[in-house]
Structure 1
Amino acid sequence: MTDVALVEETVKRLASHKGVVGIAIVNGDGVPIRTTLDPELAVTYAALVSQLALKARHMVRELAEDGSDDLQFLRVRSKKHEIMIAPAFDRDHNYTLLVVQQPDAE
């Protein structure tokens, strides 16, 4: 299976979960390259979440005694949405996966 087909399959699988509002795959520059969100909203989420993930990654590395630890996953929850962030989810660590969902969806 090609990388593009694998990405499409992953997006379809995640989008099928209850409560998922949208998904975005963001490149290393904070630009959404694949999204199910409104394009303008995807750009906003991508820019803000990229900054948050960088700061969280820096914090995790600083807290590790030898600096070898790294951020694997970040979950942010508000009253309206929950944002799940998987930085560097690809094998080359070039992309970040965002999943926005309604936390109380049944």
Structure 2
Amino acid sequence: MAEVEETLKRIQSHKGVIGTVVVNAEGIPIRTTLDNSTTVQYAGLLHQLTMKAKSTVRDIDPQNDLTFLRIRSKKHEIMVAPGNLAFHFLVKLSFCFTR
């Protein structure tokens, strides 16, 4: 578990990182640096999206698997790194673009 803590601290220390969430295989948050309502919202929605993406990758090639999912919007970037059956790491990053 110390290795997980070190990884989360390293991710959280990067410039622009708003928060991290770790969920179990059912999408239930088990560790977060975000407030409760934001954690529940992101964990639930991203768990569903990640499961659908994993299924799609497997449908295309049954011997392949999803290793990383990156979502960018105008305000934020969300990176999902599915782990083994026990964990998924979710990272929410914020970017400010000036034009």
TM-score, normalised by the number of residues in structure 2: 0.92
Separation in 2, partners of 1:99, 1:75:
10
CA distance in structure 2 between the partners assigned to 1:29 and 1:62 by the alignment: 21
- C-alpha separation in 2, matches of 1:68 and 1:42: 32
Gaps of 5+ in 1: none
- 1:91-102 map, 5 Å: 92-102=84-94
The corresponding residue for 2:64 is: 69
Deviation per residue, 1:61-91 (Å, 9 max, x gap): 1111xx1100000000111110000112xxx
* 2:15 counterpart SS class: coil
List structure 1 segments (4+ residues) > 6 angstroms apart after TM superposition. none
Q: Give me the whole-angstrom Cα distance separating, in 1, the residues matched to 2:41 and 2:20.
A: 13
Q: Does 1:55 align with 2:52?
A: yes
Residue 74 (structure 2) aligned to one of 68, 79, 86:
79
The letter of the residue matching 1:69 is: N
Aligned residues: CA RMSD: 1.2
SS at match of 1:101: strand
TM-score (norm 1): 0.86
Amino acid at match of 1:62: D
How many pairs were matched up? Answer: 97
| Aligned match of 1:12 | 9
